Structure 1
Protein backbone atom coordinates (compact mmCIF):
# COMPACT_ATOMS: atom_id res chain seq x y z
CA UNK A 1 0.00 0.00 0.00
CA UNK A 2 2.85 2.36 0.87
CA UNK A 3 4.52 1.64 -2.47
CA UNK A 4 1.32 2.50 -4.35
CA UNK A 5 0.94 5.79 -2.46
CA UNK A 6 4.56 6.81 -3.09
CA UNK A 7 4.23 6.01 -6.79
CA UNK A 8 1.02 8.02 -6.96
CA UNK A 9 2.63 11.00 -5.24
CA UNK A 10 5.66 10.90 -7.54
CA UNK A 11 3.43 10.70 -10.62
CA UNK A 12 1.32 13.65 -9.37
CA UNK A 13 4.45 15.73 -8.71
CA UNK A 14 5.90 15.03 -12.14
CA UNK A 15 2.56 15.87 -13.74
CA UNK A 16 2.44 19.20 -11.88
CA UNK A 17 5.99 20.06 -12.96
CA UNK A 18 5.25 19.09 -16.55
CA UNK A 19 2.10 21.19 -16.62
CA UNK A 20 3.99 24.13 -15.07
CA UNK A 21 6.56 23.98 -17.84
CA UNK A 22 3.86 23.98 -20.50
CA UNK A 23 2.23 26.98 -18.85
CA UNK A 24 5.56 28.90 -18.67
CA UNK A 25 6.20 28.32 -22.36
CA UNK A 26 2.92 30.09 -23.12
CA UNK A 27 4.04 33.32 -21.26
CA UNK A 28 3.69 36.61 -23.14
CA UNK A 29 6.78 38.83 -23.92
CA UNK A 30 7.34 42.13 -25.70
CA UNK A 31 10.38 44.23 -26.66
CA UNK A 32 10.39 47.95 -25.85
CA UNK A 33 12.85 50.76 -26.61
CA UNK A 34 14.88 52.93 -24.20
CA UNK A 35 15.80 56.27 -25.72
CA UNK A 36 18.14 59.17 -24.83
CA UNK A 37 19.39 62.08 -26.94
CA UNK A 38 22.09 64.72 -26.60
CA UNK A 39 22.48 68.20 -28.08
CA UNK A 40 25.62 70.28 -28.43
CA UNK A 41 26.02 72.99 -25.76
CA UNK A 42 25.20 76.50 -26.95
CA UNK A 43 28.46 77.86 -25.46
CA UNK A 44 31.72 76.35 -24.29
CA UNK A 45 31.60 73.34 -26.58
CA UNK A 46 35.27 73.79 -27.48
CA UNK A 47 37.35 75.49 -24.82
CA UNK A 48 40.57 75.55 -22.84
CA UNK A 49 40.15 74.73 -19.16
CA UNK A 50 42.43 75.03 -16.11
CA UNK A 51 44.35 77.86 -17.81
CA UNK A 52 46.13 78.83 -14.57
CA UNK A 53 48.19 75.67 -15.07
CA UNK A 54 49.71 77.14 -18.27
CA UNK A 55 52.15 79.46 -16.48
CA UNK A 56 55.77 78.31 -16.96
CA UNK A 57 58.31 79.14 -14.23
CA UNK A 58 62.06 78.90 -14.79
CA UNK A 59 62.86 79.87 -11.20
CA UNK A 60 65.32 82.41 -9.79
CA UNK A 61 68.90 81.79 -10.88
CA UNK A 62 72.35 83.27 -10.17
CA UNK A 63 73.63 85.67 -12.84
CA UNK A 64 76.22 83.97 -15.02
CA UNK A 65 78.60 85.07 -17.76
CA UNK A 66 78.35 81.59 -19.32
CA UNK A 67 75.73 80.26 -21.70
CA UNK A 68 73.06 78.67 -19.52
CA UNK A 69 69.92 76.61 -20.06
CA UNK A 70 67.25 76.68 -17.38
CA UNK A 71 64.29 74.31 -17.23
CA UNK A 72 60.81 74.81 -15.80
CA UNK A 73 60.51 74.12 -12.08
CA UNK A 74 56.73 73.61 -12.20
CA UNK A 75 54.36 71.17 -13.90
CA UNK A 76 52.47 73.09 -16.58
CA UNK A 77 49.44 71.68 -18.42
CA UNK A 78 47.44 72.68 -21.48
CA UNK A 79 43.89 71.27 -21.31
CA UNK A 80 41.41 71.24 -24.19
CA UNK A 81 37.79 70.19 -23.69
CA UNK A 82 35.72 69.34 -26.77
CA UNK A 83 32.09 68.50 -25.97
CA UNK A 84 30.61 69.65 -29.27
CA UNK A 85 29.85 66.06 -30.20
CA UNK A 86 31.02 66.54 -33.77
CA UNK A 87 34.56 65.07 -33.77
CA UNK A 88 35.46 67.94 -36.12
CA UNK A 89 39.00 68.26 -34.72
CA UNK A 90 40.87 71.27 -33.34
CA UNK A 91 44.33 72.84 -33.06
CA UNK A 92 46.07 74.39 -30.02
CA UNK A 93 48.96 76.79 -30.65
CA UNK A 94 51.24 78.98 -28.55
CA UNK A 95 53.02 82.20 -29.49
CA UNK A 96 55.56 84.28 -27.58
CA UNK A 97 54.65 87.94 -27.90
CA UNK A 98 58.03 89.48 -27.11
CA UNK A 99 61.36 88.89 -25.41
CA UNK A 100 61.68 88.53 -21.61
CA UNK A 101 61.82 91.97 -19.99
CA UNK A 102 61.90 93.49 -16.52
CA UNK A 103 59.34 96.02 -15.31
CA UNK A 104 61.96 98.66 -16.22
CA UNK A 105 62.12 97.30 -19.78
CA UNK A 106 65.54 95.65 -19.46
CA UNK A 107 65.58 92.93 -22.13
CA UNK A 108 66.98 89.41 -21.82
CA UNK A 109 68.49 89.57 -25.30
CA UNK A 110 68.82 86.29 -27.17
CA UNK A 111 66.86 84.20 -24.66
CA UNK A 112 64.92 81.37 -26.28
CA UNK A 113 62.19 79.01 -25.03
CA UNK A 114 61.99 75.44 -26.31
CA UNK A 115 59.04 73.24 -25.37
CA UNK A 116 61.05 70.03 -25.57
CA UNK A 117 59.09 67.01 -24.40
CA UNK A 118 55.41 67.61 -23.67
CA UNK A 119 53.33 64.41 -23.50
CA UNK A 120 49.66 63.48 -23.68
CA UNK A 121 48.42 62.94 -20.12
CA UNK A 122 47.15 59.44 -19.34
CA UNK A 123 43.95 61.00 -17.95
CA UNK A 124 43.06 62.34 -21.40
CA UNK A 125 39.83 60.96 -22.82
CA UNK A 126 40.22 62.53 -26.27
CA UNK A 127 42.39 61.30 -29.12
CA UNK A 128 45.00 63.97 -29.87
CA UNK A 129 48.69 64.35 -30.68
CA UNK A 130 51.28 66.49 -28.92
CA UNK A 131 54.18 68.14 -30.77
CA UNK A 132 57.69 68.24 -29.31
CA UNK A 133 60.81 70.40 -29.64
CA UNK A 134 58.91 73.63 -30.32
CA UNK A 135 61.37 76.51 -30.55
CA UNK A 136 59.45 79.68 -29.78
CA UNK A 137 60.29 82.95 -31.48
CA UNK A 138 59.64 86.39 -30.04
CA UNK A 139 57.73 87.70 -33.06
CA UNK A 140 54.32 86.28 -32.06
CA UNK A 141 54.55 83.33 -34.47
CA UNK A 142 52.12 80.55 -33.56
CA UNK A 143 53.49 77.03 -32.99
CA UNK A 144 51.23 73.97 -32.80
CA UNK A 145 51.37 72.31 -29.38
CA UNK A 146 48.54 69.80 -29.62
CA UNK A 147 45.87 68.89 -32.13
CA UNK A 148 43.07 66.54 -33.06
CA UNK A 149 42.45 65.49 -36.64
CA UNK A 150 38.97 65.35 -38.17
CA UNK A 151 37.20 62.38 -36.60
CA UNK A 152 39.06 62.80 -33.28
CA UNK A 153 39.19 65.21 -30.35
CA UNK A 154 35.92 64.51 -28.53
CA UNK A 155 36.45 64.66 -24.76
CA UNK A 156 39.37 66.13 -22.82
CA UNK A 157 43.00 66.24 -23.99
CA UNK A 158 45.82 67.31 -21.66
CA UNK A 159 49.36 68.18 -22.79
CA UNK A 160 51.74 67.77 -19.85
CA UNK A 161 54.76 70.06 -19.72
CA UNK A 162 56.16 68.58 -16.55
CA UNK A 163 59.17 69.84 -14.61
CA UNK A 164 62.24 69.87 -16.84
CA UNK A 165 60.37 69.52 -20.15
CA UNK A 166 60.57 73.21 -21.15
CA UNK A 167 63.96 74.92 -21.56
CA UNK A 168 65.07 78.54 -21.55
CA UNK A 169 68.47 79.13 -23.15
CA UNK A 170 70.21 82.38 -22.16
CA UNK A 171 73.50 83.49 -23.77
CA UNK A 172 76.34 84.27 -21.40
CA UNK A 173 77.05 87.54 -23.22
CA UNK A 174 73.53 88.81 -22.49
CA UNK A 175 73.59 91.55 -19.87
CA UNK A 176 71.41 90.54 -16.92
CA UNK A 177 70.14 92.62 -14.02
CA UNK A 178 69.16 91.28 -10.63
CA UNK A 179 65.45 91.56 -11.27
CA UNK A 180 62.54 89.41 -12.43
CA UNK A 181 61.97 89.01 -16.17
CA UNK A 182 58.66 88.05 -17.76
CA UNK A 183 57.26 87.37 -21.21
CA UNK A 184 53.74 86.83 -22.49
CA UNK A 185 52.70 83.54 -24.07
CA UNK A 186 49.43 83.47 -26.02
CA UNK A 187 47.64 80.12 -26.28
CA UNK A 188 45.06 79.86 -29.05
CA UNK A 189 42.51 77.10 -29.58
CA UNK A 190 41.19 77.00 -33.15
CA UNK A 191 38.13 75.20 -34.45
CA UNK A 192 40.17 73.61 -37.22
CA UNK A 193 41.32 70.01 -37.54
CA UNK A 194 45.01 69.42 -37.03
CA UNK A 195 47.17 67.92 -39.76
CA UNK A 196 48.84 65.36 -37.50
Structure 2
Protein backbone atom coordinates (compact mmCIF):
# COMPACT_ATOMS: atom_id res chain seq x y z
CA UNK A 1 0.00 0.00 0.00
CA UNK A 2 1.37 3.39 -0.93
CA UNK A 3 2.16 6.14 1.58
CA UNK A 4 -0.58 8.26 -0.03
CA UNK A 5 -3.23 5.64 0.69
CA UNK A 6 -2.05 5.22 4.28
CA UNK A 7 -2.18 8.98 4.86
CA UNK A 8 -5.72 9.24 3.46
CA UNK A 9 -6.89 6.38 5.64
CA UNK A 10 -5.45 8.10 8.73
CA UNK A 11 -7.16 11.36 7.94
CA UNK A 12 -10.47 9.61 7.42
CA UNK A 13 -10.15 7.84 10.77
CA UNK A 14 -9.37 11.10 12.54
CA UNK A 15 -12.37 12.78 10.94
CA UNK A 16 -14.66 10.00 12.08
CA UNK A 17 -13.36 10.34 15.66
CA UNK A 18 -13.64 14.16 15.81
CA UNK A 19 -17.10 14.43 14.22
CA UNK A 20 -19.08 13.18 17.28
CA UNK A 21 -17.04 15.46 19.59
CA UNK A 22 -17.76 18.48 17.43
CA UNK A 23 -21.42 17.54 17.33
CA UNK A 24 -21.51 17.41 21.15
CA UNK A 25 -19.83 20.84 21.33
CA UNK A 26 -22.46 22.33 19.07
CA UNK A 27 -25.21 20.86 21.21
CA UNK A 28 -23.64 22.36 24.44
CA UNK A 29 -23.44 25.82 22.88
CA UNK A 30 -27.15 25.83 22.16
CA UNK A 31 -28.35 24.52 25.56
CA UNK A 32 -31.08 26.46 27.41
CA UNK A 33 -30.23 29.18 29.99
CA UNK A 34 -31.87 30.05 33.32
CA UNK A 35 -31.52 33.11 35.57
CA UNK A 36 -31.31 33.13 39.38
CA UNK A 37 -30.61 35.99 41.82
CA UNK A 38 -28.63 36.89 44.94
CA UNK A 39 -30.05 39.16 47.63
CA UNK A 40 -29.10 40.65 51.00
CA UNK A 41 -31.37 42.79 53.18
CA UNK A 42 -30.44 45.16 56.02
CA UNK A 43 -32.70 46.35 58.83
CA UNK A 44 -32.24 49.21 61.30
CA UNK A 45 -29.73 48.26 64.01
CA UNK A 46 -31.06 48.65 67.56
CA UNK A 47 -27.91 47.56 69.44
CA UNK A 48 -26.65 50.05 72.04
CA UNK A 49 -23.41 51.74 70.97
CA UNK A 50 -20.84 52.33 73.71
CA UNK A 51 -18.74 55.48 74.20
CA UNK A 52 -15.77 55.91 71.89
CA UNK A 53 -12.57 57.92 72.25
CA UNK A 54 -12.98 61.62 71.35
CA UNK A 55 -9.43 61.61 70.01
CA UNK A 56 -9.92 58.45 67.90
CA UNK A 57 -13.52 57.23 67.66
CA UNK A 58 -12.42 53.97 66.06
CA UNK A 59 -11.31 52.99 69.60
CA UNK A 60 -13.42 52.45 72.74
CA UNK A 61 -13.22 54.78 75.75
CA UNK A 62 -14.59 54.44 79.25
CA UNK A 63 -15.55 57.92 80.48
CA UNK A 64 -15.85 58.68 84.16
CA UNK A 65 -19.02 60.39 85.36
CA UNK A 66 -17.81 62.75 88.12
CA UNK A 67 -21.31 63.00 89.59
CA UNK A 68 -22.02 59.26 89.76
CA UNK A 69 -21.14 57.43 93.02
CA UNK A 70 -19.35 54.63 91.15
CA UNK A 71 -18.04 56.84 88.36
CA UNK A 72 -20.00 54.93 85.73
CA UNK A 73 -22.17 56.92 83.30
CA UNK A 74 -25.66 55.79 82.49
CA UNK A 75 -25.95 53.62 79.36
CA UNK A 76 -26.69 55.22 76.02
CA UNK A 77 -30.20 55.23 74.63
CA UNK A 78 -31.48 52.25 72.67
CA UNK A 79 -32.72 52.32 69.09
CA UNK A 80 -31.26 52.86 65.65
CA UNK A 81 -30.91 56.62 66.30
CA UNK A 82 -29.27 57.04 69.69
CA UNK A 83 -27.46 59.30 72.12
CA UNK A 84 -24.60 57.05 73.20
CA UNK A 85 -23.01 59.37 75.74
CA UNK A 86 -22.96 62.95 76.99
CA UNK A 87 -20.40 64.26 79.46
CA UNK A 88 -21.33 65.34 82.98
CA UNK A 89 -19.36 68.26 84.37
CA UNK A 90 -17.57 68.76 87.69
CA UNK A 91 -16.34 72.32 88.21
CA UNK A 92 -14.53 71.52 91.43
CA UNK A 93 -14.74 72.75 95.03
CA UNK A 94 -14.09 76.40 95.90
CA UNK A 95 -14.32 78.74 98.92
CA UNK A 96 -17.44 80.80 99.54
CA UNK A 97 -17.20 84.36 98.27
CA UNK A 98 -15.65 83.60 94.90
CA UNK A 99 -16.91 85.99 92.20
CA UNK A 100 -16.04 86.89 88.63
CA UNK A 101 -14.20 83.62 88.04
CA UNK A 102 -14.72 81.04 85.30
CA UNK A 103 -14.31 77.40 86.24
CA UNK A 104 -13.72 74.71 83.64
CA UNK A 105 -14.31 70.95 83.51
CA UNK A 106 -12.62 68.20 81.51
CA UNK A 107 -13.53 64.59 80.76
CA UNK A 108 -11.68 61.93 82.74
CA UNK A 109 -11.66 58.32 81.70
CA UNK A 110 -9.76 55.24 80.55
CA UNK A 111 -8.53 54.67 77.00
CA UNK A 112 -8.44 51.43 75.01
CA UNK A 113 -5.17 50.37 76.64
CA UNK A 114 -6.61 50.75 80.14
CA UNK A 115 -4.59 53.88 80.94
CA UNK A 116 -6.07 57.00 82.52
CA UNK A 117 -6.77 59.52 79.76
CA UNK A 118 -8.16 63.07 79.91
CA UNK A 119 -10.22 64.11 76.90
CA UNK A 120 -12.52 66.90 75.77
CA UNK A 121 -16.03 66.76 77.12
CA UNK A 122 -18.26 65.46 74.36
CA UNK A 123 -21.60 64.16 73.21
CA UNK A 124 -21.87 61.11 70.95
CA UNK A 125 -24.67 60.22 68.53
CA UNK A 126 -25.06 57.11 66.36
CA UNK A 127 -27.41 56.72 63.40
CA UNK A 128 -27.96 53.10 62.35
CA UNK A 129 -31.39 53.57 60.74
CA UNK A 130 -30.10 53.09 57.23
CA UNK A 131 -32.36 55.88 55.95
CA UNK A 132 -29.73 58.65 55.52
CA UNK A 133 -32.49 61.03 56.63
CA UNK A 134 -30.48 63.32 58.94
CA UNK A 135 -31.13 64.32 62.56
CA UNK A 136 -30.78 67.16 65.11
CA UNK A 137 -29.47 67.28 68.69
CA UNK A 138 -30.23 70.03 71.22
CA UNK A 139 -29.60 70.47 74.94
CA UNK A 140 -31.59 72.09 77.74
CA UNK A 141 -30.39 73.20 81.16
CA UNK A 142 -33.46 72.52 83.27
CA UNK A 143 -32.90 75.23 85.89
CA UNK A 144 -30.20 77.38 87.41
CA UNK A 145 -27.50 75.67 89.49
CA UNK A 146 -29.11 75.15 92.89
CA UNK A 147 -28.69 73.35 96.21
CA UNK A 148 -30.89 70.44 97.27
CA UNK A 149 -33.02 72.95 99.20
CA UNK A 150 -33.51 75.15 96.14
CA UNK A 151 -31.06 78.00 96.73
CA UNK A 152 -29.86 79.14 93.33
CA UNK A 153 -26.46 80.29 92.12
CA UNK A 154 -27.93 83.47 90.70
CA UNK A 155 -26.09 84.86 87.70
CA UNK A 156 -24.01 81.76 86.88
CA UNK A 157 -23.76 80.84 83.20
CA UNK A 158 -22.75 77.49 81.66
CA UNK A 159 -21.05 77.61 78.24
CA UNK A 160 -20.22 74.68 75.97
CA UNK A 161 -17.43 76.15 73.86
CA UNK A 162 -15.10 75.24 71.00
CA UNK A 163 -17.53 72.72 69.54
CA UNK A 164 -15.85 70.61 66.85
CA UNK A 165 -17.17 67.56 65.00
CA UNK A 166 -15.13 64.38 65.33
CA UNK A 167 -16.33 62.02 62.63
CA UNK A 168 -13.34 59.78 62.01
CA UNK A 169 -15.43 56.66 62.69
CA UNK A 170 -17.66 57.22 59.65
CA UNK A 171 -17.38 58.33 56.04
CA UNK A 172 -20.56 60.42 56.39
CA UNK A 173 -20.29 62.28 59.72
CA UNK A 174 -22.62 64.96 61.06
CA UNK A 175 -22.16 68.21 59.17
CA UNK A 176 -23.85 70.84 61.38
CA UNK A 177 -22.54 72.03 64.76
CA UNK A 178 -22.52 75.00 67.13
CA UNK A 179 -19.12 76.44 67.93
CA UNK A 180 -20.24 77.91 71.27
CA UNK A 181 -23.48 77.58 73.23
CA UNK A 182 -24.28 79.46 76.43
CA UNK A 183 -27.24 77.78 78.05
CA UNK A 184 -30.25 79.66 79.38
CA UNK A 185 -31.91 77.79 82.25
CA UNK A 186 -35.29 76.46 81.20
CA UNK A 187 -34.73 76.97 77.47
CA UNK A 188 -33.59 74.53 74.81
CA UNK A 189 -30.58 75.38 72.71
CA UNK A 190 -30.72 75.39 68.95
CA UNK A 191 -29.19 72.48 67.06
CA UNK A 192 -25.89 71.86 68.80
CA UNK A 193 -24.99 68.89 66.59
CA UNK A 194 -26.84 67.71 63.53
CA UNK A 195 -26.87 66.12 60.12
CA UNK A 196 -28.47 67.19 56.89
CA UNK A 197 -30.01 64.51 54.67
CA UNK A 198 -27.30 62.12 53.51
CA UNK A 199 -25.01 62.83 56.48
CA UNK A 200 -24.61 61.77 60.09
CA UNK A 201 -24.57 58.06 59.28
CA UNK A 202 -22.74 55.92 61.85
CA UNK A 203 -21.13 57.50 64.93
CA UNK A 204 -20.44 61.24 65.20
CA UNK A 205 -19.11 63.22 68.16
CA UNK A 206 -19.21 66.87 69.11
CA UNK A 207 -16.05 67.55 71.10
CA UNK A 208 -16.07 70.63 73.29
CA UNK A 209 -12.47 71.61 72.67
CA UNK A 210 -11.20 70.43 69.32
CA UNK A 211 -11.64 67.81 66.63
CA UNK A 212 -8.60 65.95 68.01
CA UNK A 213 -10.36 65.54 71.36
CA UNK A 214 -7.53 66.82 73.54
CA UNK A 215 -6.31 70.30 72.58
CA UNK A 216 -8.64 72.44 74.74
CA UNK A 217 -9.96 69.80 77.13
CA UNK A 218 -9.54 71.90 80.28
CA UNK A 219 -11.00 75.23 79.14
CA UNK A 220 -13.93 74.70 76.78
CA UNK A 221 -16.78 73.77 79.13
CA UNK A 222 -16.98 76.66 81.54
CA UNK A 223 -19.09 77.86 84.46
CA UNK A 224 -18.93 81.64 84.70
CA UNK A 225 -19.89 82.90 88.16
CA UNK A 226 -20.20 86.44 86.86
CA UNK A 227 -20.38 89.52 89.06
CA UNK A 228 -23.86 88.85 90.45
CA UNK A 229 -22.71 85.76 92.29
CA UNK A 230 -21.23 86.75 95.64
CA UNK A 231 -20.83 85.58 99.21
CA UNK A 232 -24.34 86.72 100.13
CA UNK A 233 -25.94 84.05 97.91
CA UNK A 234 -23.34 81.29 98.13
CA UNK A 235 -23.94 78.54 100.65
CA UNK A 236 -21.31 76.02 101.64
CA UNK A 237 -23.14 73.27 99.77
CA UNK A 238 -23.12 71.56 96.39
CA UNK A 239 -24.98 73.29 93.54
CA UNK A 240 -26.17 71.17 90.64
CA UNK A 241 -28.02 71.61 87.37
CA UNK A 242 -29.57 69.00 85.12
CA UNK A 243 -28.91 68.90 81.38
CA UNK A 244 -31.27 67.11 79.02
CA UNK A 245 -29.99 66.16 75.55
CA UNK A 246 -32.75 65.72 72.97
CA UNK A 247 -32.27 63.91 69.66
CA UNK A 248 -34.83 64.38 66.90
CA UNK A 249 -35.10 62.58 63.58
CA UNK A 250 -35.52 65.96 61.89
CA UNK A 251 -32.71 66.84 59.46
CA UNK A 252 -30.57 69.76 60.59
CA UNK A 253 -30.45 72.96 58.56
CA UNK A 254 -27.11 73.50 56.87
TM range (shorter): 0.7 to 0.9
- Residue 184 of structure 1 corresponds to which residue in structure 2? 242
**Where does structure 1 differ by over 6 angstroms across 4 or more consecutive aligned residues?**
none
- Residue 119 of structure 1 corresponds to which residue in structure 2? 164
- For residues 1-196 of structure 1, what are the structure 2 equivalents within 5 Å? 35-41=39-45, 44-49=79-84, 51=85, 53-74=86-107, 75-125=120-170, 126-128=172-174, 129-161=176-208, 162-174=217-229, 175-196=233-254
* CA contact 2:173–2:199 (8 Å) conserved in 1: yes
* CA contact 1:91–1:147 (8 Å) conserved in 2: yes
How many residue pairs end up in the alignment? Answer: 167
Uncovered stretches (5+) of structure 1, i.e. residues with no partner: 1-31
* CA contact 1:59–1:73 (8 Å) conserved in 2: no
CA distance in 2, matches of 1:46, 1:141: 20
Q: TM-score, normalised by structure 2?
A: 0.59
CA distance in 1, matches of 2:99, 2:124: 36
Root mean square deviation, CA, Å: 2.6
* CA contact 1:88–1:150 (8 Å) conserved in 2: yes
* CA contact 1:64–1:172 (8 Å) conserved in 2: no
Of 174-183 and 91-100, the range deviating more from structure 2 = 174-183
Q: Which secondary structure does the structure 1 equivalent of 2:192 belong to?
A: strand
CA distance in 1, matches of 2:197, 2:188: 24
CA distance in 1, matches of 2:42, 2:98: 61
CA distance in 2, matches of 1:123, 1:102: 40
* CA contact 2:164–2:207 (8 Å) conserved in 1: yes
Q: TM-score, normalised by structure 1?
A: 0.75
* CA contact 2:87–2:123 (8 Å) conserved in 1: yes
| Displacement of 1:88 | 0.2
